[in-house]
Amino acid sequence: MCCVSDLLQCEALLPAVVAVVAGGAVLYFGLFYKASLPAIPFELKPPAESQPGWKSGKVLDQPSIFVEGRPDLIQCFDPATGRSLGQVPATTVEQLDDKLRRARNAQKAWALTTFEQRRQVLRTLNEFVLRHQREICQVACRDSGKTLIDATLGEVLTTNAKLQWTIKNGENALKDDSRDPGFMMMYKRAKVVYQPRGVVAALVSWNYPFHNTVGPVISALFSGNAIVVKASEHVAWSMAYWEQMVKRALNVCGHDPELVQFVTGFADIGSALTMSPLVDHITFIGSPEVGKLVMKSASANLTPVTLELGGKDCAIVFADADMSQCIPVLMRGVIQNASQNCIGIERILVQEGAYDKFVAEMERRIKAVRLGAVLDDGDAGVDCGAMVLSNCFGRLESLIADAVSKGARCLVGGHPYVHPRHPRGQYFEPTLLVDVTPEMDITRNETFGPIMVIMKFKDEQDSLEKVHSSPYGLGSSVFSGDRERGRRVALKLRTGMANVNDFGVNYICQALPFGGVGISGFGRFAGPEGLRALCVEKAFTEDRFPFVKTPIPPIVDYPIQDTEKGYQFTQQIVAFAYNDSWWASIKAGLRLGKLSM
């Protein structure tokens, strides 16, 4: 300290000290500090219909999205009450084409933005979602009938997780990726450059209207693309709010809101979008049957596709599992969002020694589940919301009846539920179906409803055989007190995702890719893989040193004077560059020199 004091007291050296410190600070910030563009706050008024207790709309006698004699309109309604939310115009093919062209024009400038500029847009969205969680959840609840808790977990939490991961890690996923050029090309630099595809499309399902809509927008924007989102006609009412939100975020950050276009309509619009030559990549979330049609449409222009086609996710529960943790997790895996989840738990396999107690506890819990409309029932208490689609009820009853006819027992539920306060609401009784075996139809068909299916198994091999009797392969869970066994069984499952002692958490880990195998689809979204899928992975080389370039030896320069000698020369090039033996490489090098003379 005395030395420092003496130094500072020396007037002659003080300017030099200040200059060194200032210079060091400038150098540090120049090399290591990256200025962040802050989130820009904005406000957006939610639709009046999303307010709790709203009752201005008429309760429809037979709720349906179709308007008789008006194929150009979509009837919107709250599936929890059957109350009309108004009518939305279906996008026409001409309007779709116009939106695609506007998106393409906007993308030209967006492709030139920096990663920090893109992060600012995502930060702005993230801040808006954090500050308006309740409003967002209420809009999602009104359009899809879910509860506020399910909306928070499935709509908001997942979206913030995706935003934050992309903000923090997106640049690392998309920055130029240097590669080893190999011995032959040691004088070259080789790398992969991730360039935006242009205009990408996302056709998304109705089960989580906010997250399924905004999730693809996050990835598209950060990877430098424009996007056209085709929202499901079953949740068309909320799309205007989500679209305004995204466009306002772009606008306040100084970017063209035409980058993001939303369309909604029936099958004709989906087909027109997937067949359009103006689309450079397609992400589809839906059923295997429709996924095949999307592939067929996309093949007209060889447009690349990512398909997430649902699952018949299993949970294998060994007798040594921690039941105090396992049972609540699996209850949420089945009941959350009325099990309208692509990674919802649709088959629970329980080992023989724990089977009876497990069934008894699940019967007690499922009997206590309360159905209702969370925005209308106030403090009445609602555990599970409505179903978005009522036309699936007959199919669910048929699957349950088939299982019972083949020996299964339906201990709870099994039928549509007429709510005493909301008789036009679309509810299905929380159902417990036990003693299910692989030959029953319900084990091979996605239910997408609040039906807990329980099967019995003997050992590891038996559990794997029963799980693999289904053609689906999206997500999976294994519960065991033996960590090694849990890991071993999970890695043997033919699924795209697996969790040990948990359900669905892989999706909260946004660093991980999301997707399946079998008829659950192919390709991945989320994680680095999801961002890169929206890019052209361009292989790029350049000279490492400006004075070292690729020469064409005279012996193989066109027109070739001696083809046999030229052939021997190329043989020795291969032997020289790729032989495992140094001595063999040296001999090949000597032969090359001799042939070159």
Provide the annotated active-site residues. 308, 342
Residue whose tokens read 């032989």 = 579
In angstroms, rounded to a whole number, what is the distance separating the alpha carbons of residues 103 and 260?
7
Query: Based on the number of CB atoms within 10 Å of its own CB, is 568 exposed (0-12), middle (13-18) or buried (19 or more)?
Result: middle
Q: Using the Cα atoms of residue 464, residue 466, residue 470 and residue 474 in order, give the sign of their dihedral.
A: negative
User: Which SS3 state, helix, strand or coil, does residue 6 take?
Assistant: helix
Here the tokens at position 315 are 């949970």
**What is the distance of C-alpha 304 from the center of its chain?**
16
CA torsion 331→333→334→340, rounded to 10°? 150
Q: Give the closest residue to 58 by CA, choosing from 98, 24, 85, 32.
A: 85
Q: What does the DSSP 8-state code read for residue 384?
A: B
Measured between alpha carbons, how far is 311 from 492 in angstroms, rounded to an integer? 17
- As beta bridge partners, residue 203 has 230, 284
CA distance 209 to 159: 11
Q: Which two tokens stand for residue 33?
A: 């500090």
How far apart are the C-alpha atoms of 482 and 466, rounded to whole Å? Answer: 21
Residue type, 449: G
Sign of the C-alpha dihedral, residues 436, 437, 440, 443? positive
Q: What is the DSSP letter of 576?
A: H
Mode of pairing for the β-strands spanning 84-89 and 177-179: unpaired
- Residues with Cβ within 8 Å of 223's Cβ and at least 6 positions away in sequence, in order, are 170, 174, 194, 196, 197, 531, 532, 534, 535
For residues 350 and 456, the answer to whether their CB atoms sit within 8 Å is: yes
Q: What is the largest distance, in Å, between two alpha-carbon atoms of the chain?
A: 99
Q: What is the DSSP letter of 424?
A: T
